[in-house]
Amino acid sequence: MNLNATLIGQIAFALSILCAVAGYVLGKRKTNTPKLMALLGFIFGFIPPLGPIFILVLALKKDVYSASEIQP
């Protein structure tokens, strides 16, 4: 099976979209900046070892609670 540069580029782009979506969803719960996490997920998605590591680190991070969620 031959892999050309177009196929590899399409796979890398699809993986970076997947990492961006996962980074945004996890970033809403785990950080105060979900858009930045989505951008970092998109960038790290192009580099295969860094994409899954980024998602793993973000998933293992503790949740951030907003002031409206904390009851006195």
Per-residue pLDDT tens for 12-52? 999 999 999 999 999 999 999 999 999 999 999 998 889 99
In which band, very low, low, confident or very high, does the pLDDT at 72 lie, cut at 50, 70 and 90? low
Q: How far apart are CA 34 and CA 9, in angstroms?
A: 26
Of 50, 2, 44, whose CA–CA distance to 21 is shortest? 44
pTM of the entire predicted model:
0.82
**pLDDT interval class at 65 (50, 70, 90):** confident
Give the DSSP letter of residue 67: T
pLDDT value of residue 3: 78
Length of the chain: 72
